[in-house]
Amino acid sequence: MTHLDADVQRLIELATQAAEHAWCPYSRFRVGAAIETADGSVFSGCNVENASSGLTICAERNAVFQAVAAGHTKIRRVVVFTPTPTPTAPCGACRQVLSEFSDDTEVLCVCLGPDSISTTLVELLPMRFGPGDLDQGRDSLA
């Protein structure tokens, strides 16, 4: 994945636009995320905070849920944008939610500064909890 790739550029634009719509009056921390699914469809999301703090949703999960609601359950790429000097990687909860729909998913985190994080979800979330764990545990009470 490179910054010169037109598809990645589009995702960066979408993530940047989404961050402009972030509802973050409490943290004042804007996040935008854009997702490309297996067939090339794109979805974006921003963080949406709530006065009841625990109800806040991150930009990445917002984008994932939009994709799934439209029938897309394979995520090829994720771009996260924060208007910060250095890039921000997805939080642990978002990594886990992304992993449900990921297989070798590329993750690019960009910001206002020149640095970026280019990685994969497997790298961000090694030894994830997945459906295989459930399969093993399901019978343990039988």
Binding mask 62-101 for ligand THU (x = CB under 6 A): ----------------------------xx--x-------
Count the helices and strands in the chain (H runs, E runs): 5, 5
The closest of 102, 113, 94, 116 to 33, measured between CA atoms, is 94
Give the integer Cα–Cα distance in Å for 93 and 80.
Answer: 15
Look up residue 48 and give its DSSP letter. Answer: B
Instruction: Compute φ and ψ for 101, nearest 5 degrees.
Output: -120, 20
Q: How far is the CB of 6 from ligand THU (least distance, A)?
A: 26
Residue 43: strand pairing partners:
35
Catalytically active residues, by annotation: 60
For position 49 contacting ligand THU by CB under 6 A, the verdict is yes
**Segment lying near ligand THU (by CB under 6 A), choices 12-20, 55-63, 100-108, 128-136:** 55-63
Tally of CB atoms within 10 A around 49: 18
Q: Which stretch binds ligand THU (CB under 6 A): 2-10, 13-21, 57-65, 116-124?
A: 57-65
Q: Which of 15, 19, 60, 79 binds ligand THU (CB under 6 A)?
A: 60
Nearer to ligand THU, 20 or 133 (CB): 20
Is residue 38 close enough to count as binding ligand THU by CB under 6 A? no
Q: How far apart are CA 16 and CA 30, in angstroms?
A: 10
List residues near ligand THU by CB under 6 A.
24, 27, 29, 31, 47, 49, 56, 58-60, 90-91, 94
